[in-house]
Structure 1
Amino acid sequence: MDIRQGTAADAEAVAALHTRSWRTAYAGIFPDDYLNGPLVGRQAALWRDRLTGAGDDGGQLLIADNGGGIAGFAYLLPEGDRILLDNLHVDPGLKRSGVGGVLLRHALDGAGTRELYLEVLKRNTAAIAFYERHGGTKAREFVERFPEGFELDVLEYSWSGQVTA
């Protein structure tokens, strides 16, 4: 598996994987009408903007390419002295294959001396277990209000050293 920089040519495939991942990981957490409705357009617009330069936010897309397509991706977003790991998604059929750990280690390497952090839904227990297994430390808890009219509890995890296996 190769880790490469994402390009505008990846926007459609990344949006599709992002949507599949959310529908799998967030079933029963997000409202069904959101996961099966506006999510598709939201993800397509997000990745089209990020990768064509229209929404240039200084972010970096890492693609895990297994030779047969995109196995997973991570998006790093610089925020002063910290780096937000804004997305870390693995194709649902490849969960527990090591792809997520490889992407997380590359994200930490990309953060350099800056703290790497991410936000995860509190009810996403599988992701929380993954982050804790890989050395993440819970930093804070808050409620996120979505424009579609619902709220979810969120946890922030951070790394200031090496990711553990």
Structure 2
Amino acid sequence: MSATDSIFLRPATPDDAEGIAIVRIDSWRKTYRGIIPDTYLDSMEVEDSMVLWRRVLTAASVTTSVFVAELDGDVVGFAAGKMLDEEKFGLNAELAAIYLEPEIQRAGIGRSLVRMVAAAHQAQGAHGLIAWVIARNKIARQFYEKLGAELLVEQSFNWDGMDLVEAGYGWRDLNIFKPH
């Protein structure tokens, strides 16, 4: 029995804000070291991120969804999505975040979390999903491509004063996430 056999996927609650913040910051520090300045990564604070996630999770918005992967009571991954006010590239929902601790990657947990986000937004009328990734994040790009996303665009953007390049991936048919 592997650690991933004990993973429980569920909708996030406000009590998950700290766990989500920790996973996000850990993931950024591991993934973006060498891509984003160390000073930025090292200055990321769990408390700041936790405040943001608590606000998201207490908003009770039907246009936002957040799901967590839990192992032994700890959040070890999460995915978040939202409906877009305006379509982008003909897509009306966004996979806004997906982060997993390394020990549960490549076990189907990310795919399941994306499936949950897609289903939640399809129920709200979404017909397509867009996801953004820093272009140099090859692992995330491969993940999206493996899930059938098409590369829509690569473009410059500014994140907290840093000039970066992002890649936009999209799924035009959310039914690909439904079990067959």
TM-score category of the 2 structures, normalised to the smaller one? 0.7 to 0.9
The answer as to whether partners of 1:105 and 1:163 remain within 8 angstroms in 2 is: yes
Instruction: Provide, for residues 54-112 of structure 1, a one-character-per-residue CA deviation record: whole Å limited to 9, x for no partner.
Output: x9694111112234422311111111461111101111222212211111122222231
Cα gap change, 1:21 to 1:57, in 2 (>3 Å) = farther
Q: What one-letter code is carried by the residue in structure 2 that aligns with 1:10?
A: D
Structure 2 distance, partners of 1:164, 1:51, is: 25
Instruction: Give a deviation string over 1:120-153, Cα, whole Å, max 9, x none.
Output: 1100001101110110101112112023x21110
Aligned residues: 163
Which residue matches 2:127?
114
> RMSD in angstroms over aligned alpha carbons?
2.3
Shifted more, 89-98 versus 57-66: the winner is 57-66
Picking from 30, 40, 54, the partner of 1:34 is: 40
Report the AA paired with residue 70 of structure 1.
V
2:164 paired residue among 140, 144, 152: 152
Question: Partner residue of 1:88?
Answer: 98
The alignment status of 1:21 with 2:33, answered yes or no, reads: no
| Gaps in structure 1 of 5+ consecutive residues | none
Percent of residue pairs bearing the same amino acid type: 29
Q: 1:115 to 1:85 in 2, by over 3 A?
A: same
The separation in 2 between residues aligned to 1:50 and 1:68, in whole angstroms, is: 21
- The offset of 1:39, in angstroms, is 5.0
Please tell me whether the aligned partners of residues 66 and 117 of structure 2 are also in contact (alpha carbons under 8 angstroms): no
Residue of structure 2 equivalent to 1:98: 108
- Secondary structure of the structure 1 residue equivalent to 2:43: coil
TM-score by length of 2: 0.81
Asked whether the equivalents of residues 101 and 134 of structure 1 are also in contact (C-alpha less than 8 Å), the reply is: yes
Pick from 4, 7, 11 the counterpart of residue 5 of structure 1.
11
Tell me the distance in 2 between the aligned counterparts of 1:131 and 1:44: 26
CA distance in structure 2 between the aligned counterparts of 1:134 and 1:40, rounded to whole angstroms? 30
Letter in 2 for 1:78: M
Normalising by structure 1, report the TM-score.
0.88
Is the 2:20–2:78 Cα contact (8 Å) retained in structure 1?
yes
Contact 1:72 1:89 (8 Å CA) reproduced = yes
Cα drift, residue 163 of structure 1:
4.0
Aligned to 2:155: 142
Moved over 4 A (4+): none
Higher mean C-alpha displacement, 122-131 vs 40-49: 40-49
Mark the runs of 5 or more structure 2 residues left unpaired by the alignment.
1-6
